[in-house]
Every structure is written in structure tokens, then in C-alpha cells.
Chains A and B, each alone.
Chain A
Amino acid sequence: EAAVTQSPRNKVAVTGGKVTLSCNQTNNHNNMYWYRQDTGHGLRLIHYSYGAGSTEKGDIPDGYKASRPSQENFSLILELATPSQTSVYFCASGDSDSTEVFFGKGTRLTVV
């Protein structure tokens, strides 16, 4: 069964600190995505990747970096976390051969 696993599931970070959110997929999908979910904004695309070594900016990339070291792993990096980045973050994977995009269960990040 297709699986996308995110870690950690919950994280509290300090303003100005560095945060790394990790995502692993066992679907062998080429494409991976990072979204954030906020009340009043729905799901918004931060970064995405076509495969190992590639990262592309989504709709709201400011303040975020992404890293795709392998087909399976895709990280989201907040170099200097701010309270406005408090949100629920979802990783997903998909490709043209699958009929859907598979989402992980999310990471709840609180920046204090």
C-alpha cells in the first residue's frame, strides 16, 4: 500500500531556530510536495520536487528551503523559524502513472 511517513508528528520550535521536517515515501513516486494547511487558507504548496536532487518553488516558498537527497526522502527546512510559520505541514507524493497524490498524516509545528 502506498505510504508517506512524516516525522516528527509534532514539533515546538523557538523563534529564530532551525527546523527540519522529514518525509519518506515508499511509493517509488518521482514527485514529492510540501504543503501547509491553515484555517482560512486551505492547503498551499510550498516546494515540490521532480526527483532526487531537484527542488522547485511552489506558491509560498519564502522562508522555506527543501532538500531531496533521494527518491524516497524530501525535507522541508526552516532556517530561521518565525511564529507565522506555525501551521500543519503535509508531505505528499505522486507521479503521472498513479491516479492520485498520496498525503502523509501531517506535522503540527508551533513556533514560540
Chain B
Amino acid sequence: GDSVTQTEGQVALSEEDFLTIHCNYSASGYPALFWYVQYPGEGPQFLFRASRDKEKGSSRGFEATYDKGTTSFHLRKASVQESDSAVYYCALGNYAQGLTFGLGTRVSVFP
């Protein structure tokens, strides 16, 4: 079945550091790819999506590019803030049958 692998389980950074979270997927067909963010006590919130090869999604300074060749959708942000501390999920799928999520990456940003 479809699957999503996030390489980093936890990331600790200082403010203004560069953030990268690696996401690779395995799926039949041409799935849409997503990034979600979850803050404590809340449900996951949509960050952005991409639906085709080379498409870049972005929001709130975060961005990722759909790469069908390397089956990747890595999340990047140039300069993180303490308020970016959260759990980030990469996901794939469609609205008809739901999304398949990775295990999540806990990001902690220290002042």
C-alpha cells in the first residue's frame, strides 16, 4: 500500500536556523502530497499541497517541491521562529479515500 517516510523524528533548532524535514513516499499512480502542522492540543492543520511533478507548495514561509523522480516532498524554511515549534506531518492521498500520513517530525525551536 501507499506509505510516507519522514526521516527525522525530532529536530532541535535555534531561531533563524534553516529547517529541512525529509519526506519520501511510495505510491501507485500520481498522488497529491501534503504538509500538515499540529500544535499541542489541536488537530493537524493544512499547510499546503502539491499535485503534480515540479509543483511547489508554500505557506507561512514553508515550502516544498513535488519531485516524482526522487519520490520526495521535503519541507524547508529559511529562518525558523520559536512559534514554528510543532509536529509536522507529510501526507499523500486524495479526498475520496483519505490521506496517508507519515509518523511526524517534532520541531523544537529555541530562542
Contacts and interface: CB of A to CB of B under 8 A. Distances in A.
Interface of A: 4, 31, 33, 35, 40-45, 48, 50, 56, 58-59, 90, 92, 94-96, 98-106
B98 A42 contact: no
Contact of A101 (B41, B42, B46): B46
Contacts of A96: 95-96
Interface in B1-55: 1, 34, 41-46, 49
A59 B100 CA distance: 9
Given A40-B103, A95-B95, 19 more contacts: A4-B43, A31-B98, A35-B98, A35-B101, A41-B103, A42-B102, A43-B89, A43-B101, A44-B101, A45-B99, A59-B100, A92-B43, A94-B95, A98-B95, A100-B46, A100-B49, A101-B46, A102-B46, A103-B45
Contact of A48 (B1, B49, B98, B102): B98
Size band of the interface chain B makes with A: 20 to 34
B96 to A, nearest CB: 7
A100 B50 CA distance: 11
Given A42-B89, A96-B95, A106 B43 contact: yes
B97 interface: yes
A101 B36 CA distance: 10
B43 A104 contact: yes
A38 B89 CA distance: 13
